[in-house]
Amino acid sequence: MSEARFDAKIFSRHVKRLYDLWKDGVWGGVKIDALAIVWGQSEEVTTTKTVAVHSYLFQYELPDTALVFTKSKILVFSGPKKIELMRDMMGQEGYECAQTLELLQRTKEGNDAHMQTIGAAIKESFNGQVVGILDDESVGATVDLLAGVLEPFQRVSVVKQVSNMLAVKDDQELRCIQTAASIASAVMKNSFVTKMEEIVDSGKKVHQEELAAFVEGLFAEPHKISSRLNPNVVDAPFRPSVQSGGHYDLESWPPAFDETHSERDLHSRCIVLQLGARYKSYTAVVGRTYLVDPTKYMQEAYTFLEGIYKKVLGIMYPGTECEHIYKAAVDWIKENEKFKGLAANFSADIGAGVGLELAESEFAMKPGNKTKLKANMTMVLRMGFSNIPVPEDAKDKRAKKDANARTFSVYLCDTVRIQDQEPEVLTNNVRKATSDVFYFLEDEEDEKDKKKKPEAAPKKPAAPAAKKPAPAPVKKEKREEPKPKSSKKEEESDYDEDDEGGDVKVRSRGDVESSIGRRQRTSRALEHQAASEAKESKRKTKQRQLFEKLKEEALARLDGQDGSDAAAAKAKVKEYIAYKSPADFPDESTKTTIFVDQLRQAVLLPIHGMIVPFHISTIKSVSMTDSDLRIVFKAPDAVIAKTQNPAYVKEAQFRLKNVEMLSTAFRSIESLKKSATKFEKEAALKADLVEQEKLRLSATPGPRLPNLSIRPTLGGGRLVTGTLEAHDNGFRYTTTKKATVEVMYNNIQHAFFQAADASSLIVLLHFHLKNPILIGKKKTSDVQFFTKVMEASEQVDGRRMGATYQDELEEEQRERQRRNVLNGQFSQFVKKMEAFKPDVISFDIPFRELGFFGVPSRNRVFLQPTVNCLVSMVEEPFFVLTLDDVEVAYFERVAFGMKQFELVFIKKDYAKPSVPINQTFVTINSVPIEKLDLIKDWLNDINIKYYEGRVSLNWKTVLTKIRDDLRGFWEEEGGWKILDASDSENEDEGEKATGGGGGGGGGAGGEESEESERDFVPEEDEESDDYSGSDDDGSGYSMASDDDAPDSEDEEGQSWDSMEDEMEEEETNKKRRRDDDSDDDQPKKKRRKD
């Protein structure tokens, strides 16, 4: 509660409305001189009128609190924490209250003085005789104290007046209810119904309680519904309801939780689902009926209910009496000859108001309630026919076999906003048309019987005449069942000719691709297909435009190079000079001994009577056995060997009778080599370090963020905490042990802020640097400052042994609050920084909804795009890819049956000889195939050209070949079109690009990722490592490595098309083998022949 906050603007606005309705001591025709709203503790967890008033004013329930409203004062008697929140609210901007807010803090010593203050204030208000109260029951010391104060006064109920005040919502309240309705609709459509379909389609026995618990769990972790939802303001007002199997209770509200009923298995005939969502204390509800293999009568009953629903919705206007709405519905039922008997099965009421309360009973639409609807009210419209017997039907096989299929119910429930125009259905996203709630499975059973008939016939040849007539009516029924879909006359209802929902639209499962899991919605599937095709066409058009632009820029770069990079391509050899002339040799060296010069870092060896010096850096290894000393020298690489004198010393071996002297030389060489290696490593570490400018401390304090840890760690491997401060030209991070790290603004290439959520319990600031810096003894281009939410919350209040379920809920609530506080602190720091240095630094925030899992290095991480980068910053090693550096992207191993693919980014510096080839591309492995379209859309939106193929390429070889002849690559080969296996419009018929196996480098671009690729791509174990080939014209753009080149000119590699065919065939065979292996363990899924 200490981290909660009351909203001054909401309080001021709602208090003003209360006093506007209560004028001159009269409220809604009832004379009261004061209003007392007292709440102690309640044994039942429910939303009472008192709790609704608390939420209306403060957005929180306030237990053990008394609110007393008088003509000129509002007195609050409560505990110290709530009183402190009241004081904070009074100091907020936007607090405007005409009445004096007098705060009375409860104490342990005694509260008699506070009670006297309340009593005196009531007496001074208007006539000081009548106090309005609510009828809610609660217990506690606060209730007892106020009971004594109010005893001398006359008390009258103002429940109706308070209900009228709460019923009409302002704009902000309507937005909250709209959000709650959107959440409820999303959960119902995307989770509740989908899970129900999976259960029915699989035929598994699952308790109804399990389905309800699954949906209830989503509200416990709202990020599973949407990453944008704040878990502190989202919950479920009641347990989701699942009813099926001939047992239905549509009258209880909220839906009653029957443990006996919930333990029954979900019955796939008639399923009634209901759920609610609460957002910032405001509630919305939705409910639907789903019928599996319904008879014609069941279909007509549902369509009849849908027609009544639409008619009722059409008369829900401001000024209409609640009683009139219910009577009109019953009258319409009785007017229908076929279904007038269902009036006895109709709901006792058809809904009530909804908002801060789940049911505003004063606005219940039932007999005897003459209350009128008002504009900007929100209502739950719910109606249904419960426990209807299914009439006998010769075609209804399920009712004959299953007693639980002989009773059904139909039910609809929505949240509706009342307005001067037509009422708005806020939960209309959950479709209720017959094509969305009817499922047909029996045709599969018929087809299964058909397949068994020919096998059974030969077994009984003695009575063919008796058996032949039997199949005929079955086939006829099978053909006739879908007729209502195509026959208008048979579709028409005899009870409601004018109703839009009167037509019964029936669809057979045989009309669509698969079973209930894909929802059998042919028309919507076709619309979706058309939309997808249009989207893909636009995407391809833009990709062609991006290629033309890419080609123009590449040719312009080639024209501007003028061979300047060719000179840079020459291998650079570092020269080591120990001595300029033999005169510089040490005096101690002789022509017959091995001498180690520690000062000059050289080893002088006697060779053919001469002293030959070797710098220690040229020695690869040294070993000693008995009386032999063997020295192996480093051999130059192939490039140097071709460009310079290829003659070199590979190794030397010396034998001395004096073993002690040989051993001394061996130890001296080893010691010198170790010190030289250490020196070279330190030099290499600092080689590309750029000297940073000195930090200028700010005269005025800049933004400051305490209690942060840093990665990489400052030596020792242990996390330390410190404070990050902003100064004139950079940040300074100071630990509790006074160690410092400085990051200059002009060295920051990208700055990121990532808030914590339920899946990643750290909140962080991350800086990707232009030039690396040293932190401890480690060179890094990424510096991160973060706080762990989970550890922080455990330090505040750890778990207790034997904690109850309520304790765990409270602890989770505290963790969420802690996370929100930390996110707010970091967010405020970011805003202050952007205001402090507006033109110097700006922070990028990842788009979680565009994220996907992948393996850029060794670990599987969640990668998220930002405006300028693709990042993964939660786990080390960090991954930051600057999108402006990317020229093209390539999707590898995109083939039928593959569950994952690889994503390769080719950087623009692939053409620069000075850049190592393994740093010119980045590979992200094991990306789920479901994310393919999402990533394509993202790349298309940020103007990055992409290609896709069914094989992996050896990118080191490919890019080396391209780099050797850049102009030929673009002018003769068409550039990156060699990757576009699907673009047949712009390629010659005979032109083929070839590929090589074994994907290239990983996130680090090094050989390490290439070698470890098999660790996280199991499919590669069965694939060939080498796919080699060449263009038909022999241009030499081969995708195979040099070592795998054919020995004979007569040998030819595979073409791109043949490799793709082999790849697809291999994947198909693997999938078939997996299916065969799993036949014994898993039931076979019935497939329908198209």
Question: What pLDDT was estimated at residue 806?
Answer: 60
* Mean of pLDDT values over 967-974: 84
Q: Which of 931, 870, 925 is nearest to 903 (CA)?
A: 925
Q: What share of the chain is helix, strand, coil (3-state, %, to 5)?
A: 40, 20, 40
Query: 1062-1069 long-range CB contacts below 8 Å, 24 or more apart?
Result: 1063/895, 1063/950, 1063/951, 1063/1023, 1064/895, 1064/896, 1064/950, 1066/1022, 1066/1023, 1067/895, 1067/896, 1067/897, 1067/898, 1068/896, 1068/897
Residue 530 has pLDDT above 50, yes or no: yes
Longest Cα–Cα distance in the chain: 126
758 with 219: CB under 8 angstroms? no
Cα–Cα dist 310/305, whole Å:
9
Percent of the chain's residues with pLDDT above 90: 43
| Structure confidence by residue, pLDDT tens digits, 423-445 | 999 999 999 999 899 988 755 45
Q: Does 1014 have pLDDT greater than 70?
A: no
Higher pLDDT, 553 or 1078: 553
Distance CA 12, CA 532 (A): 50
Average pLDDT, integer, range 945-973: 89
3-class secondary structure, 460: coil
Tell me the pLDDT band of 4, cut-offs 50, 70 and 90: confident
Q: Tens of pLDDT along 211-227? A: 999 999 999 888 888 87
Say what the pLDDT of residue 644 is.
Answer: 55
Peptide bond before residue 712 is cis, with ω within 30 degrees of 0: yes
Higher pLDDT, 279 or 689: 279
pLDDT score of 1000 more than 80: no
Whether the per-residue pLDDT at 87 is higher than 80: the answer is: yes
Residue with tokens 């609510």: 134
DSSP code at position 21? H
Highest mean pLDDT among 219-228, 842-851, 1008-1017: 842-851
Q: Does pLDDT of 568 surpass 80?
A: no
The whole-number average pLDDT for the span 160-188 is 94
| pLDDT for 315 beyond 60 | yes
Average pLDDT (935-950) is 92
| Most confidently predicted of 131-145, 522-536, 1043-1057 | 131-145
| Residue 877 preceded by cis peptide, ω within 30 | yes
Q: What is the pLDDT of residue 454?
A: 45
Q: Which residue has the tokens 């007496």?
A: 123
Pairwise CA distance, residues 942 & 850, whole Å: 13
pLDDT for position 1047: 39
Estimate to the nearest angstrom the gap between the alpha carbon of 956 and the chain centroid: 34
pTM of the model: 0.49
Average pLDDT for the chain: 79
What are the tokens at 462? 């003695």
Q: What is the pLDDT of residues 851-881, one digit of tens each?
A: 999 999 888 999 999 999 999 999 999 999 9
Q: What is the rounded distance in angstroms from the CA atom of residue 379 to the CA atom of residue 417?
A: 6
What's the rounded mean pLDDT across residues 145-160?
Answer: 94
User: What tokens does 120 get?
Assistant: 């005196």
Element (H or E) spanning 673, and its range? helix 659-687
What is the spatial distance between Cα 858 and Cα 879, in angstroms, rounded to a whole number? 11
Q: What is the pLDDT of residue 132?
A: 96
**DSSP bridge pairs for 285:** 276
Looking at residue 810, what is its pLDDT? 72
The 10s digit of each residue's pLDDT in 348-386 is 999 999 999 999 989 999 999 999 999 999 999 999 999
What's the rounded mean pLDDT across residues 298-315? 94
pLDDT of residue 1053: 42
- Single out the residue of 956, 951, 950 nearest to residue 906, CA to CA: 956
pLDDT value of position 395? 67
pLDDT for 1083 equals 40
Q: What pLDDT does residue 1068 have?
A: 59
Task: Characterise 50 by phi-psi region: left (phi > 0), alpha (psi -120 to 50), beta (else).
Answer: alpha
